[in-house]
Amino acid sequence: MGASITKYAYAVSGAHVYEKNYFRKSDMDKLLAAPSYEAVVAILQERGWTMPEDTRDSGKILDLELSRAWSWVQLSAPDPKIFRVLILRNDFHNLKAGIKCLLSDFDVDAQFCKPSSIDPSIMKECIENHAFEQLPAPFAELGQEVYDLLVRTGDGQMADVLIDRKCLDEITKEAEASGVDLLKEEMEIYTATCNIKTAFRAIKTGKDGAFLEKALSSGNKTISREKLIACAGAEKKMDELLSYLSTTSYSSGTKYLSSSPAEFEKWVDDQMLSLLLPTKYSPLGPEPLIGFYLGKEAEIRNIRIILAAKQNNLPLDVVSGRLRRLYE
Amino acid sequence: MNWGMLLALFGAGLAVTTNCFGSSKGVGMVAEAASPVITEDSSKFGKLLVLMLLPGSQGLYGLVITILSLTQIGVLGGEVIPNTAAGVARGGLFLVACLPMALGGLASALLQARVALTGVQLISKRPQDSGKAVTSASLVELYALLSFVSSLLMVMSINGIKW
């Protein structure tokens, strides 16, 4: 770990002050009960959320709020580098979206995820000018490789595999390098469950072990990459996979895989959030800041679901069943 | 070289240095944590001020022990420690007498600051409970006081010891 935990006094105190405005379960019920999308936006505005010019763009509203929380972490933490792992997946997403949009003439700006460690405008410029070498490692080499692959073969799936695998490998590496146990545990759950989802989808669509060899990231402690690959080579692939998963620490969640992948996603999010709860009252160290940011992400995820439901007039009971656990 | 005097001065210096280090670090930490709370609601400053000041008391205790030691060893009064074997032993005793304050004060200042930090969070969320936050932080003060009294009694009685 970089900075001494006592240097986090200001950052943590500020985060706890900020957290007082986080939405609780009762607030989520109010949002759910709001009569329209506009009414939900009005509630968000009352809570001090910054609004873009066009409030019908829910993505922009949520991006602004999440970026605000991220800015606090970056500006106040004595060692902001260790938190980069929390948003690393956005950078990889932006690289993927940038290259694909360029090759298919789509507007890339709407596809970029925020916050990200590489400014989306810089990412866009580098991709448009084919100047991947101007991006930091590992994006420079990966960007060039994926771009060449797409131009040569047009194989979008393999491009996704390359980027997603590298993303998970980098997350594992950076979490380990941070020296923060909570970060390691959180990222372990994230990367291991990503591998589980990849293996499940690959087996369901009839992919072989060679595909999984390329797609699955390495370095997980709670799940065996080799065993997941071996499942793809077995006679009853899916049975073998589910049987192996039932022996892991993810067994209570993987039972949802066959019935409802969305339920599994919710289970993963709730597991990750439950690890954060003890940090809510910590006065020092990087852990409360991790809780602060991931807690905001959980809140944003729920509000995204509610806003989408209001825009599409979805029934309340379906929406409330999808809502994640909150950092409260 | 008057080794007895050197040891006594080292002890006196240690008492104030370690305590001032602990207090400044503690007060600094609590003040840092208090500033976002004050930014949000400046009316909480009064309640937070007590918490900010609490880890500062050890520095004062250390200073008192230093001044008392100096009055006993001939720097601010009293008899100068002689440059003899008995003088070295007496200087060593002053050093030992200052240690409870030097170590106990340092540890209690830092630990008290951590309790005060949780108090800052408490006041931020529930200002009506500020009394509980201050009481919790004050409990650690007892151990700074015990260290202070121990050092005080020892420093005051060394010159009365018959060799």
- Contact flag B124-A13 (C-beta cutoff 8 Å): yes
Q: Is A313 helix (H, G, I), strand (E, B) or coil?
A: coil
Q: Work out the average pLDDT over B33-53.
A: 93
Listed as ranges, residues in chain A with pLDDT below 70 are 1-3
Alpha-helical regions (H) of A105-155? 120-128, 139-153
Shortest distance, CA B159 to any CA of chain A (angstroms): 41
Can you give the pLDDT at residue A67?
94
Contact B30 A9 (CB under 8 A): yes
The DSSP output letter for A219 is -
Tell whether B33 lies on the interface with A, counting CB pairs under 8 A.
yes
Q: Taking the C-alpha atoms of A194, A200, A205 and A210 in order, what is their torsion angle to the nearest 10 degrees?
A: 70
The nearest CA of chain A is from the CA of B117 a distance in Å of: 6
**In chain A, where are the structural domains located?**
1-79+293-328, 87-177, 180-285
Of residues B36, B121, B125, nearest to A10 (C-beta)? B36
Instruction: List C-alpha distances in Å: B111 to A207, A283, A307, B40, B54.
Output: 58, 12, 46, 26, 11
Q: Does A246 touch chain B (CB under 8 A)?
A: no
How far apart, in whole angstroms, are the C-alpha atoms of residue A44 and residue A61? 9
Encode pLDDT of B109-123 as tens digits: 999 999 999 999 899
Question: Which pLDDT belongs to residue A275?
Answer: 94
* Confidence at residue A255, expressed as pLDDT on a 0 to 100 scale: 80
| pLDDT for the residue numbered A108 | 81
**pLDDT digit string (tens) for B52-111?**
999 999 999 999 999 999 999 989 988 898 889 999 999 999 999 999 999 999 999 999
Fold of B3-158: Four Helix Bundle (Hemerythrin (Met), subunit A) (1.20.120)
DSSP string across A32-95: HH-SSHHHHHHHHHHTT----S-TT-HHHHHHHHHHHHHHHHHHH-SSGGGGGGGTHHHHHHHH
Question: Average pLDDT in the B44-55 region?
Answer: 94
Q: What's the one-letter identity of residue A6?
A: T
How far is residue A258 from each of residues A33, A123, A254, A263, measured CA to CA in Å? 32, 37, 8, 10
**Cβ of A14 under 8 Å from any chain B Cβ?**
yes
For the cut 90, the answer to whether the pLDDT of residue B17 exceeds it is yes
Closest CB to B33 among A10, A20, A281: A10
Whole-number Å distance between alpha carbons of A149 and B134? 64
- Counted across chains A and B, CB pairs separated by less than 8 A come out at 43
- Cβ atoms of A241 and A227 within 8 Å: the answer is no
pLDDT of residue B37: 92
ipTM of the complex: 0.76
Name the closest residue on chain A to residue B116, using Cα atoms.
A283
On chain B, the residues whose CB falls within 8 A of the CB of A13 are 32-37, 117, 120-121, 124
Residue A245 tokens read as 């998963």
Contact B151, B98 (CB under 8 A): yes
- Tokens representing residue A282 in the block: 């910590």
- What is the b/e burial string over A120-155, where b = at least 16 CB atoms within 10 angstroms of the residue's CB? beebbebbeeeebeebeebbeebbbebbebbeeeee
Chain B residues near residue A9 by CB distance under 8 angstroms: 29-30, 32-33, 117
Which tokens in the block code for residue B8?
Answer: 């006594």
Asked if A6's CB is within 8 angstroms of B33's CB, the reply is no
Between the alpha carbon of residue B27 and those of residues A17, A108, A180, the distances in Å are 20, 50, 26
- Closest approach of chain B CAs to the CA of A33, in angstroms? 27
CB of A211 closer than 8 Å to CB of A202: yes
* pLDDT the model gives residue A104: 85
Our CA-based measurement puts residue A289 at a distance from the nearest CA of chain B, in whole angstroms, of 14
> B29–A9: do the CB atoms touch at under 8 Å?
yes
Q: Does A9 touch chain B (CB under 8 A)?
A: yes
Q: Between A9, A10, A17, which is nearest B124 by CB?
A: A17
Buried b (16+ CB within 10 A) or exposed e, B31-67: bbbbbbbbeeeeebeebbebbbebbbbbbbbbebbbb
| Strands (DSSP E) found in B37-109 | none
Produce one character per residue of A54-90: b if its CB has 16 or more CB atoms within 10 Å, e if not.
eeeebebbbbebbeebbebbbebbbbbebbbbbbbbb
How far is the alpha carbon of A265 from chain B, nearest alpha carbon, in Å? Answer: 32
Cα separation, A127 vs A147, whole angstroms? 9
Q: What is the pLDDT of residue B79?
A: 86
Angstrom distance (rounded) from CA A149 to CA A162: 10
Is the distance from CB of B101 to CB of B14 less than 8 angstroms?
Answer: no
B32 and A281 in contact by Cβ < 8 A? Answer: no
Q: Tell if the CB–CB gap between B125 and A16 is shorter than 8 Å.
A: yes
* Yes or no, beta carbons of A283 and B40 under 8 Å apart: no
Query: With an 8 Å Cβ cutoff, are A13 and B33 in contact?
Result: yes
* pLDDT of A170: 95
| A154 conformational bin, left if phi > 0, alpha if psi -120 to 50, beta if neither | left
Query: A87-177 in CATH: which number?
Result: 1.20.1690
